[in-house]
Amino acid sequence: MQISSTIFGTIENTEVKLFILKNNNGVEVKFTNYGGIITSIITPDKNRDYQNIVLGFDKLDHYLSKKYLDSYPYFGAIIGRFGNRISNGKFSLKGIDYKLSTNNSPNHIHGGFKGFDKIIWKAKPFKNKNLVGVELTYLSIDGEEGYPGNLQLKITYSLTEENEFTIDYFAETDKATPINLTQHSYFNLGNEPTILNHQLQLNCEKYTETDSDSIPTGKILSVKNTPLDFRKIKTLKKDIDYLEIGYDNNYCLNNDTGKLIKAGKLIDNKSGRIMEVYTTEVGIQLYTGKFIPELIIDGLKKFGAFSGVALETQHYPDSVNHPNFPSTILHPQEKYQQKTIYKFSAKD
C-alpha cells in the first residue's frame, strides 16, 4: 500500500497539499487538506479498466473559481459544523438563542459562508500493515459562523486492501453545540454523462418530510407507495419525474444505537461497478444533483444536472429545532464519533 503527497497550490500564502492513497488492487483516492475535498477515487470496472468515479477537479484554482462557487455544489468536501439545513439559521440551547449565518437565505446550510469545506486542515499521514490514511485536524473557535463552543475536530481518511474507503469523525467541545458532520462527494460509477441509469437500494423505511424550502416539517413518514421507496433496488430515473427537482431527501436508517450498519448500495450495470455504504449514522441524504452546474474546464464542458449522486451519511436536517429527531447536541466531556465506509467492487 502506498501514500504520497504533492503541492496542490496556495491560498493566502498557505500551502495546500494533495494526498494520494493507493492499495495493491489499484484503487486510488486523492484528496486535499483544503476542505478535506476528495478530488478523485479511481476504481476498476468489470473489465479492469480504471476510472475516476467522483466529481472533482485536478487543479485547486477550479475549486476557487467564481463560476463554481456561484452555483456551489460542495464537490467532495467535509461539511460542518452542521450538514444540511437549519431553519432561518436559528436555534435555542440551554435557554440561549443563537443566530447562525444564513448562506442559503433565509436558512443556514452546511456550516455557513466559511464552513469546514473552505478551511485548510492540518494533515498528518499514517500507515500500518492493513491501511494507509491521513489524519485531518482543525479547531473551530467559539462563535465561528455563529456556533457556540470551541470545537476540536479530527477526521481520518483511510484506504484498505479490501477497497474500503473509511471516514472517521471525532470531536470534543468546551460548550454545548450542535454538530452534524458529513462528506459531500458526488459519485458517477460509469461513463455516462448522468447517473439516471444507476441503480440504488437503501435500507430505509422512512424519511423526513420537508416543506417547499427543504426544511423538515417534523413529520417522519413511510416511503411505502411513494417515489422515495428504494427498499428494493431500482434505477434513479424510474420515479424521478414525480419529483420537481429530483431526489434531495433525508432517509431514516433506524440506527439509534450507533452501530455500523449497511445503509445501501449503488450499482452501474454498464461498468459493473458497485459501491456499498456502511455507517454509524442515523440518516442518509440522497441528492441526485439537479443543481450541479455545467462548467467549462480546460475548454471542455463538464458536469451539469444529474452528473453525480451524493449519498451523505448524517443526522437529520434541522435536528436542533425538532425535539423528536435524534439529538445533534454535543456537550463538554462527551466525545463525538461517527464512521462511514464506502466499499468498492465490480461484477465479474
Question: Which residues are known catalytic residues?
Answer: 184, 312
Taking the C-alpha atoms of residue 135 and residue 148, their distance in angstroms, rounded to an integer, is: 25
Residue linked to cell 465506509? 341
Cell triple for 326:
435524534
Are 171 and 330 in contact by the 8 Å Cβ rule? The answer is yes
Helix (H/G/I), strand (E/B), else coil: 144: helix
Taking the C-alpha atoms of residue 188 and residue 202, their distance in angstroms, rounded to an integer, is: 17
Residue 270 CB neighbours (<10 A): 14
Taking the C-alpha atoms of residue 253 and residue 279, their distance in angstroms, rounded to an integer, is: 9
User: DSSP assignment, residue 211?
Assistant: -
Residues 6+ away with beta carbon under 8 Å from 18: 5, 6, 7, 8, 30, 31, 32, 39
Backbone angles phi, psi at 96, to 5 degrees: -110, 135
Mark 46-61 as b/e (b = at least 16 C-beta within 10 Å): beeeebebbbbbeebe
Q: 338: exposed, middle or buried (C-beta count within 10 Å: 0-12, 13-18, 19+)?
A: buried
